[in-house]
Structure 1
């Protein structure tokens, strides 16, 4: 009985982004910047929501323009606005199934929350989010684009939001907090699945 209880508790604890399809998987651990585990919130972003060392690319034409068919009136898909909102949530705790800053986020709950702050409806599960928007090549990524990874199972099982350069922000795992990562890091590059632009 105790062994079953311990196994059940461990299965719940180690589930990375469980909103990726309802199945419980044991994820590979997410890398921590500088190794180890995150002890507390990340430092505040430097200027205007852009982390130190990131030079924002020039604004792309059409970003933030009037809503395209399928989005509600008033929806704002400006990538810099989306990434600024995402960066304001750095340090928020991870919580499996979490959908708000007060109690914490999982990866898809974080993405959904950020997009909803700009009037953009977003599905709850990673696999559903992977079906939204237009596919974008990696060399064309812009702030606000969604980046998807295959971390715990085949197919989309983790999601983050590009913030500029080669960096993205996400809610990584039960030991972590919302933080910025480098898309070119070996862990993420080897698990990269694709990207979507919601406009």
Structure 2
């Protein structure tokens, strides 16, 4: 009986780890811990709160939690910080996409290992891979917002 309970508990815990909603994950950065709590929140055009986010409202909300100010639109956010090559991305960098055909129209936060988090119009707050066909074709640029000290504190 004890073995069955322990096995069930192990299974439940592994589900939490796989879904990104572990009960406690000491290895997660402050950034990851923050965004993991927001996964699944609905998309809302113009949304800037946990009632619903659009893409730039989401990035603005997350960075504000760390006392970092971002402009409101993805296009304006693309002018903040400093440009960074795709090959040099690190957690906390903003990644920008042309999803409308009219220049920068979407933004997400790079988390590392090719993964970024963003507010998707169809799926709400979600993680995706930069190399997924849809995003790879539409990738435009990235900007480094965090200073080295902020990166060490927030994203590592």
TM-score category by the smaller chain? 0.7 to 0.9
Distance 2:109 2:126 in 1: 11
* Structure (1 or 2) with the greater helix fraction: 2
- The alignment status of 1:81 with 2:10, answered yes or no, reads no
- The alignment status of 1:186 with 2:133, answered yes or no, reads yes
> Does the residue aligned with 2:107 lie in a helix, a strand or coil?
strand
Report the TM-score, using the length of structure 2 for normalisation. Answer: 0.75
Q: How does 1:25-44 map to 2 (within 5 A)?
A: 43-44=19-20
Matched pairs, number: 127
Q: How does 1:165-176 map to 2 (within 5 A)?
A: 165-173=113-121, 175-176=122-123
1:49 Cα offset (Å)? 7.3
* Structure (1 or 2) with the greater strand fraction: 2
Q: Which runs of 5+ in 1 are unaligned?
A: 1-41, 51-79
Q: Which runs of 5+ in 2 are unaligned?
A: 1-17, 148-156
Distance 1:98 1:176 in 2: 14
Report the TM-score, using the length of structure 1 for normalisation. Answer: 0.60
State the Cα RMSD in Å. 1.8
1:84 Cα offset (Å)? 2.9
Residue 168 and residue 113 in structure 1: after superposition, are their counterparts in 2 closer, same or farther (change >3 A)?
A: same
